[in-house]
Structure 1
């Protein structure tokens, strides 16, 4: 490791990922909960995609968006966790320069895509509750395809300048990244150049897009609440608002940890580095792990389909 500390490189062929700085001796123990979260996330999201694909009754806009969310979560986990576990288990810390920038792109672009999918799901719930007669005609397959394309292009194009700029900076000092993955600022901080453009771009674009999504989601739910509370009976309130419960829980599981992580990273300079890294990984893995559980437990159609998959034939499944 000392060779890397003392080396002077202009364009490093590799970076060295430390894992969790200061807790290297506990990497094996740290890997246990993260590995468990990864396995649950992979199994749960694969199950969501399989159920939506094979069950004709689920071929509706809400479930198509849910399938998009599951695919996004699968990519988001897979682009970082296998490398993280290889660091924890086998001390494989090297990552190629191009591979590092590719991981950076996938990490941040799919995070943006997930936020965009939540906004699209909020629009779906708004139309379904506030204008139900036009839901089937408004959100047709071509419209869903265009929304998916916009979400993907928005996340990709907004993130692309980050690795492109990072690839142009000279790296004439240490090539050791104190993280488990090639997070944007963790890489850029190693450059021996004025990288303020990266800082400003990352903050401006990231905050703008996330804030825009949150504002749109909030506006959608304000209209949904107004519609729900105008219904004549409390049973109608609960039944209508129940269709949004899973989406609301998933939104909270995604945005609250992400916002807290950004705040502590930007202003919590007194917080230890290993806390930043650990919490960043929890923020990365928790939503993909929780989303299948939230939607699987609270969505009757998905819950019944899961029970059918794991219930022996001949035994009748009773839905609650």
Structure 2
């Protein structure tokens, strides 16, 4: 993806990731916890994808975006957690500079992707509740493909400059990254030269993308709530709130740790302990990927019924085998 020239960027050939500083005594407990969360995240999101793929009644706009979110969560956690576990279990924090920049790109690319997917899901709920009779005619497969392509393209265009800019910084022999993965600002903080361009780009990018998506989501749900209160029956209002509840829970789980990490890097490094910051940055990667399948599995009737049916079939097969 990137050509790294030591003559121009003065990058070390490798970086050293230190994991979560200050939690070395709890390293085994921390690693087991993250490993369990990661395995459950992979299983949960794979199950969601399997159900949506196999069940043709779920081949609609809402489940199209849910499948995108599941794929994104699988990739998001998989690009960081295996290396993180290597640090905890084998004390192997060394990472090639090119691999570090590649990981940095995908971490932030997938973060922007997730934000875009959540905004698209808010738009889907807005159309479903505010214009239910036109739902399928508005969100056609062609429109869904265009929305998905725009989400991917926006993430690539905005994130690709980050590793390019980082590769041009001067490091003066510094190679220790105070993080468990190659986060943008964690690597920038290792540099010894002028980092104002990198810091400002990261700041403007985070504020513009996260700010735009949150404003869009907020406006969507403002109009959704207005439409819900105008519904004639209590049952209809309850059903409409239920269809949005899952998405709201996912938004909270996805945005809160990310916003905390962003604010801490820029404004709270002297007040927030570094190990707390890094721990929550890791939670931001793996916890939403673990939680999203549970939220949608419990609160979405079609998925819940499919899971229960699969469990009943497996139980019956297991019973027949025992006989």
TM-score range, shorter chain: over 0.9
**1:191 equivalent in structure 2:** 191
Gaps of 5+ in 1: 1-8, 316-320
Q: Are the counterparts in 2 of residues 12 and 171 from structure 1 also a CA contact under 8 Å?
A: yes
Give the whole-Å Cα distance in 1 for the aligned partners of 2:189 and 2:228. Answer: 49
Note the C-alpha offset of 1:275: 1.1
Note the C-alpha offset of 1:192: 2.0
Note the C-alpha offset of 1:251: 0.8
**1:250 equivalent in structure 2:** 250
TM-score, length-scaled by structure 2:
0.92
Note the C-alpha offset of 1:266: 2.4
Note the C-alpha offset of 1:263: 2.2
TM-score, length-scaled by structure 1:
0.93
**1:122 equivalent in structure 2:** 122
What do the CA deviations read for 1:153-201 (whole angstroms, capped 9, x no partner)? 1111111111000011122132011110000011111112101001000
What do the CA deviations read for 1:81-140 (whole angstroms, capped 9, x no partner)? 000000100111110000000000000010010000000001111111111111111111
Give the whole-Å Cα distance in 1 for the aligned partners of 2:83 and 2:315. Answer: 44
Aligned-residue RMSD, C-alpha? 1.4
Give the whole-Å Cα distance in 1 for the aligned partners of 2:137 and 2:233. Answer: 28
Secondary structure at 1:270's aligned position in 2? coil
Give the whole-Å Cα distance in 2 for the aligned partners of 1:312 and 1:125. Answer: 32
**2:295 equivalent in structure 1:** 294
Whether 2:316 is the aligned partner of 1:285: answer no
What do the CA deviations read for 1:45-86 (whole angstroms, capped 9, x no partner)? 011111101110100100010000000000000000000000
Note the C-alpha offset of 1:314: 9.2
Gaps of 5+ in 2: 1-8, 317-323
Q: Are the counterparts in 2 of residues 119 and 214 from structure 1 also a CA contact under 8 Å?
A: yes
Give the whole-Å Cα distance in 2 for the aligned partners of 1:301 and 1:110. Answer: 27
Aligned length: 307
Note the C-alpha offset of 1:259: 1.7
Note the C-alpha offset of 1:241: 1.9
**1:223 equivalent in structure 2:** 223
**1:5 equivalent in structure 2:** none
**1:309 equivalent in structure 2:** 310
Q: Are the counterparts in 2 of residues 173 and 190 from structure 1 also a CA contact under 8 Å?
A: no
Q: Are the counterparts in 1 of residues 10 and 168 from structure 2 also a CA contact under 8 Å?
A: no
**1:53 equivalent in structure 2:** 53
Structure-to-structure mapping, 1:170-181, within 5 angstroms: 170-181=170-181
Give the whole-Å Cα distance in 1 for the aligned partners of 2:283 and 2:58. Answer: 31
Give the whole-Å Cα distance in 2 for the aligned partners of 1:133 and 1:84. Answer: 48
Secondary structure at 2:191's aligned position in 1? coil
- Could you say if the C-alpha distance between residues 18 and 132 of structure 1 is closer, same or farther in structure 2, counting changes exceeding 3 Å? same
